[in-house]
């Protein structure tokens, strides 16, 4: 396995180990993610992908190892502190407020970071009014960059599922985090819209230099956006490198599909795998 180690790491994971009772969900995992790259974490169901994201965002405390963001140790910090350092995320399940407009959904992402206190929020002219105007402008700019501006005043719950997933991504991006963790952004998105999602993510990364770490089962999306991919299996790294090489590695196909199926897929190419 040839491993290309990025020159300047934004995120470094070192010997991360997570146990749930007797189960070792993550086993001494090392990962380095470079500033500005799109990195995909793939692997069969139960391989440990979401657990890695949860360790980074602070929802799970690992048994051992460390995680550094821009050289700063993350594991001693609570989740909200990590968010304020510039780590955003989405979840597998939609977490939108369905009765609110798309624009208001994006504005809720800001609440945790607004500087204004309760009192200044009640004043008609003050910092909070300015902040509100700025937040609206930034939310509209985010929607525009992602090609979603026509949805701004629509009720989130009234949109097709694929569009709602994109709004979820927009919500994670609106504060311009340095690192965004995307948990299966293509899940439930109609196949014909996956390429559009890939184009939008690439465009965003190119315009703003955001580093993206995504978990994904949809290999079309992975192949279209990822600079590098890491395959997890039973909590350990099975392969890492450029998507084309890694996703045609017989050991990777076998982990997903079993020995017989992997031969057939090798001949035809793999596009979507459910573990």
Ligand X SMILES: Nc1ncnc2c1ncn2[C@@H]1O[C@H](COP(=O)(O)OP(=O)(O)OP(=O)(O)O)[C@@H](O)[C@H]1O
Going edge to edge, which strands form the sheet with 87-89?
87-89, 179-183, 211-215, 38-42, 228-233, 236-241
Number of residues that bind ligand X (CB under 6 A): 12
Question: Counting contacts by CB under 6 A, is residue 20 touching ligand X?
Answer: yes
Q: Is 25 in the site for ligand X (CB under 6 A)?
A: yes
Q: How far is the CB of 191 from ligand X (least distance, A)?
A: 19
Q: Provide the CA 264 distance to its chain's centre, in angstroms.
A: 31
Beta carbon of residue 241, minimum distance to ligand X (angstroms, whole number) = 19
Interface with ligand X in residues 32-51 (CB under 6 A): 43, 45-51
Contact flag: residue 83 with ligand X (CB under 6 A): no
Say whether residue 168 binds ligand X (CB under 6 A). no
Q: How far is the CB of 245 from ligand X (least distance, A)?
A: 21
The pair of three-digit structure tokens given for residue 70, joined into one six-digit string: 């821009």
In 3-state terms, the chain is what percent helix, strand and coil (to 5)?
Answer: 40, 25, 35
Q: Per CB under 6 A, which region of 19-27, 144-152, 240-248, 253-261 contacts ligand X? A: 19-27
Indicate the residue among 36 and 275 with the shorter CB distance to ligand X. Answer: 275
What residues does 179 pair with on adjacent strands?
Answer: 87, 211
Binding flag, residue 58, ligand X (CB under 6 A): no
Residue 51 or residue 105: which is nearer to ligand X going by CB?
51
d(CA 275, CA 271): 13
Closest CA to 19 of 75, 69, 65: 65
Nearer to ligand X, 162 or 275 (CB): 275
Q: Which two tokens stand for residue 213?
A: 């770490």
β-pairing verdict for 236-241 and 228-233: antiparallel
Q: Which residues bind ligand X (CB under 6 A)?
A: 20, 23, 25, 43, 45-51, 275
């Amino acid at each position: 396995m040839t491993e290309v180690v990025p020159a300047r790491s934004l995120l470094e994971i070192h010997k991360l180990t997570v146990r749930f009772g007797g189960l070792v969900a993550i086993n001494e995992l090392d990962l380095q993610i470079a500033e500005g790259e799109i990195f995909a974490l793939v692997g069969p169901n139960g391989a440990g992908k979401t657990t890695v994201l949860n360790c980074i965002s602070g929802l799970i405390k690992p048994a051992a190892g460390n995680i550094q963001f821009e050289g700063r140790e993350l594991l001693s910090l609570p989740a909200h502190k990590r968010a304020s350092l510039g780590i955003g995320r989405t979840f597998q399940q939609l977490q939108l407020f369905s009765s609110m407009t798309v624009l208001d959904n994006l504005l809720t992402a800001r609440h945790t970071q607004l500087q204004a206190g309760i009192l200044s929020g009640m004043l008609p002219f003050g910092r909070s009014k300015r902040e509100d105007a700025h937040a609206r402008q930034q939310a509209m700019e985010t929607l525009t960059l992602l090609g979603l501006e026509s949805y701004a005043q629509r009720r989130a719950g009234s949109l097709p599922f694929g569009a709602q997933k994109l709004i979820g991504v927009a919500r994670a991006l609106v504060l311009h985090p340095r690192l965004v963790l995307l948990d299966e952004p293509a899940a439930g998105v109609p196949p014909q819209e996956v390429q559009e999602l890939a184009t939008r993510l690439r465009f965003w990364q190119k315009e703003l230099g955001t580093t993206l770490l995504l978990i994904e089962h949809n290999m079309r999306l992975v192949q279209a956006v990822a600079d590098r991919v890491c395959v997890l299996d039973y909590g350990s790294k099975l392969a890492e490198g450029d998507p084309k090489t890694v996703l045609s590695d017989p050991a990777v196909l076998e982990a997903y599909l079993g020995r017989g199926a992997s031969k057939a897929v090798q001949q035809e190419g793999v596009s979507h795998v459910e573990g």
